[in-house]
Chains A and B, each alone.
Chain A
Amino acid sequence: MLLRIVIDLLIAVGLIFALAGTKGVLKMPDTFCRMQASTCISTLGILGVCLGGLLYAIFVMHSPATAVKVALIGALVLFTNPIGSHAIAKGAYQAGIRPEKPMETDDYGRDFDE
C-alpha cells in the first residue's frame, strides 16, 4: 500500500511539472522563454514518470525487461533532449527571430550580427 502511494506521488510530481511547462509554453512572452519552459516538461516531467514506472515494474509487475525499457526511455530522452533544444535555439536566433521587447544583454547579437 505504501509503495502504491509512493508511485502515485512520483507520477503526480511529474504531472505537476508537466503542467507548469505547458502553461509556460502557452503563456510565456517570447520564443526563447517558451523554449526554457519546455525544458521543464522534458526533464522532471518524464523523470517523475520513469521513476514511478520503474518502481511499479520492479515491485508490482516483477518484470525486469519492462523495468529496463522504462529506464532506457528516461535515459534516452534525458541524453537527446538538450541537443535538440540547443540546435533549435541557435537556429531560431540565426533565422532572425527576436523577442518583441529587446533583450537587455545580448552578447550573441553583438559578436556575430555584422
Chain B
Amino acid sequence: MTDLMIFAVLFGALAVINLVRLVKGPTAADRMVAGDCADVLICCAMILFALYSGRGVYLDIAIISALLGIIDTLLVARYMDKGRWLKYVAKDRH
C-alpha cells in the first residue's frame, strides 16, 4: 500500500526539481517547457495519490490539469511566433 505513496512523493520531488529550470531558464520557451514537464509530473503524482487514498476526486483534477497544460503551452507558443499562423491561414484561404 505505502509503495504508491512513496512513488507519488518521488514524482512530486521531480516536479520541484524541474522548477529550477523554470526559474533559471534564459528564454520563455525554456520556462514553458519546464512548466509543462512539472504539470505532467504533478499529474502522475495525483494519479498515484488517488489510487493510494481510494478517492476518485483527484483523478478529475488530474484530467483538468492535463487539459489546461496543453492550452497554456499553445497560448505561449502563439505569443512567441508573433501571429505568423494567422498570415499563413489568410494566404491559404484567399
Whether chain A touches chain B in the assembled complex (some CB pair under 8 Å): yes
Interfacial residues, chain A to chain B (CB-CB below 8 A): 4, 8, 11-12, 14-15, 18-19, 21-22, 25-26, 31, 34-35, 38, 41-42, 45-46, 49-50, 53, 56-57, 61, 65-66, 69-70, 72-73, 76-77, 80-81, 83-84, 87-88, 90-92, 94-95, 97
Chain B, interface residues (CB within 8 Å), range: 35 or more
Q: Please pick, from B30, B37, B82, the residue contacting A31 in the complex, using a CB distance under 8 A.
A: B30
Q: For window 49-81 of chain B, which residues contact chain A by CB distance below 8 Å?
A: 50-51, 54, 56, 59-60, 62-63, 66-67, 69-70, 73-74, 76-81
A94 contacts B40, CB within 8 Å?
A: no
Q: Please pick, from B18, B27, B59, the residue contacting A66 in the complex, using a CB distance under 8 A.
A: B59
| A18 to chain B: closest residue by CB | B14
A-B contact pairs, 20 of them (CB 8 A): A8-B7, A11-B48, A22-B37, A25-B37, A26-B20, A34-B33, A35-B33, A38-B36, A49-B47, A53-B48, A56-B4, A66-B51, A66-B59, A73-B43, A77-B40, A77-B66, A83-B70, A83-B74, A91-B81, A94-B80
